[in-house]
Structure 1
Amino acid sequence: MIGTLRTVFALACVALLTLAMALPQWLCVTTGLCRGRRLLRLWHRTTARLLGLRIRVFGNLAHGRPLLIASNHVSWIDIVVLAAVADVCFIAKSEMARWPVFGWFSRMQRSVYVERDRRGKSGRQASEIAARLAEGDVMVLFAEGTTGDGNQILPFKTTLFGAASMMLSAGNHEEMWIQPVALAYTRLQGLPMGRQHRGIAAWVGDEDLVPHLATVLREGALDVEVHFGEAVPFTAKSSRKDVARQVEGRVREMLHAALADPAPRK
């Protein structure tokens, strides 16, 4: 009963918050007068609290620009977490545009949607990402191409790393940066989360959004760690496959370290 009441209350608060911010954020994006980043950060931070997320950040967003973040992917929760701690835009699967609430905010956050199963569009999608990087937007790439179980890192897909090469080939920049980021779900209701319980946070396969959202709200109090690694330089001479493997290795190291020794609660 308590879990149901908490779920209803949290969803009602998120809906009211969204309604309050909808018009000013829409005006910012459609008129181009502003990016609406402060509104988005407030929405994500407030939503994170309502969902019961406790976010711990280690390291910092790299200062170098253009900047592409390459992160592991566990759940739709990742989007709320990363947008709550940094001004970023997302490279998201096309289905996300149709999600309730989160889909609308992803559009207002100027996400780039990709159809991963349609290889014929990969060039155009990479070109759009390259243009956004050149404009100074920090783009987040969930480089596994799908969600994992939160315990292991899946091999990184190298296709969209091609956006880095494409941006440099335009001639406006001689160098850019790719920063590895690891997202680790470490505690549930204050207790260390084992492999079997990490599935509460993980959103794997074809599971519907709303039932998983209800599960997260019912359980409550999830601790998630965001680890920013050292950014890797990328130039016209760099191999996207080699850089992808290097970044993948750093994300894997940070994730395993975080899961083996979760940060103590404060």
Structure 2
Amino acid sequence: MSDASWHSEDAPDPINLGVCGWLLVFFRGLPLAVFVFSGLIVLLILRMIERPLYGVHRPVTPFITQFVCRNAFRILGISYRTTGELMTQRGAVVANHSSWLDIFALNARKRIYFVSKAEVAKWPGIGWLARATGTVFIERDRKKAREQTLLFQERLTAGHKLLFFPEGTSTDGLRILPFKTTLFAAFFTEDLRDFMYVQPVSVVYHAPKGEPDRFYGWWGDMDFAPHLLKTLGARRQGGVELIYHSPAKVSDFENRKALAAYCEDTVRQAHSLARLEK
């Protein structure tokens, strides 16, 4: 995780919705809000039953999250496609990070649980969704490193697929930043190393025709609300593509740096090729 957000040398693109754009905001935004929060209510009700029966295990509610996230793209009109096989082994998933849309994109295909900085839990809207869907919140305090490693072990041993963004920040979607190695260290503990796998995923956004390539990127100090409005009000929508790579066995790597470098190279190469082939 990083204390600093990534900033582009160029200012964010201006947002000009116009009358048509505002109509699309209404006709997409209202159904999306009703759909997402209805799903959240159903999830919370079922979780009240699920939690006392299964504890940390969630045999039912992740399917609701998947259903909501997949259909959110249908409401938005954003095309969605994936390639590659889902990991069946126990372990974690790592992906590049470009936008708040990543949460929907990655949840739509695979039952995963995000690992996020603790501040996200306090964000209106996104924070509520994150808590409800089982996100693991971690703090930057070194004193809590051991406590957080034990939490990872509990969730991974229970069969949860934890998802990390090793870049530590979101970008404009046109690049892959160096993967930070800190969170990879938990995979090399004595209790996890022998059974852990890590699956790299490349997340690629294709901008609407006529819009800048970084249209869906959300970075730096950009506010959530204007970016949401821009996305809802796009006359033409683009698409998101997820490329699932072969899982890497943790015990095949000497240390966290070697594993992080492998995942970074894998994600970067596929991301570059997919952007060229759009």
TM range (shorter): 0.7 to 0.9
What is the aligned partner in structure 1 of residue 97 from structure 2?
73
Scaled by the length of structure 1, what TM-score is found? 0.87
Describe the shift of the 1:21–1:51 C-alpha distance in structure 2 as closer, same or farther (beyond 3 A). Answer: same
1:173-225 residue CA offsets vs partner (Å, 9 max, x unmatched): 72211111000112414x7x7xxx13221111121111111111122512111
Structure 1 residues 121-130 or 202-211, which shifts more? 121-130
Structure 1 residues 93-102 or 200-209, which shifts more? 93-102
What is the aligned partner in structure 2 of residue 141 from structure 1?
164
Structure 1: which 5+ residue stretches go unaligned? none
What is the aligned partner in structure 1 of residue 35 from structure 2?
17
* Conserved 8 A contact 1:52-1:217: no
- Residues 1-266 of structure 1: matches in 2 within 5 Å? 1-31=19-49, 32=51, 33=53, 34-64=59-89, 66-116=90-140, 118-166=141-189, 169-170=190-191, 174-189=194-209, 197-219=212-234, 220-235=236-251, 238-262=254-278
Q: Give the structure with the larger strand fraction.
A: 1
Counterpart code for 1:29: R
Describe the shift of the 1:119–1:222 C-alpha distance in structure 2 as closer, same or farther (beyond 3 A). Answer: farther
Q: How many residues align?
A: 252
SS of residue in 2 equivalent to 1:199: coil
Distance (whole Å) between structure 1 residues aligned to residue 143 and residue 228 of structure 2: 33
Structure 2: which 5+ residue stretches go unaligned? 1-18, 54-58
Q: CA deviation at 1:237?
A: 6.8
* Conserved 8 A contact 1:174-1:236: no
1:38-97 residue CA offsets vs partner (Å, 9 max, x unmatched): 211111112122223211101021121x22111000011111111111111111222322
Structure 1 residues 91-100 or 131-140, which shifts more? 91-100
Identity of aligned residues (%): 30
1:115-153 residue CA offsets vs partner (Å, 9 max, x unmatched): 34x344333333322221111011111110001221111
SS of residue in 1 equivalent to 2:94: strand
Distance (whole Å) between structure 1 residues aligned to residue 252 and residue 237 of structure 2: 45
SS of residue in 2 equivalent to 1:175: coil
1:13-48 residue CA offsets vs partner (Å, 9 max, x unmatched): 122123422333113334414441221111111212
Scaled by the length of structure 2, what TM-score is found? 0.83
RMSD between aligned residues: 2.0
Q: CA deviation at 1:250?
A: 0.5
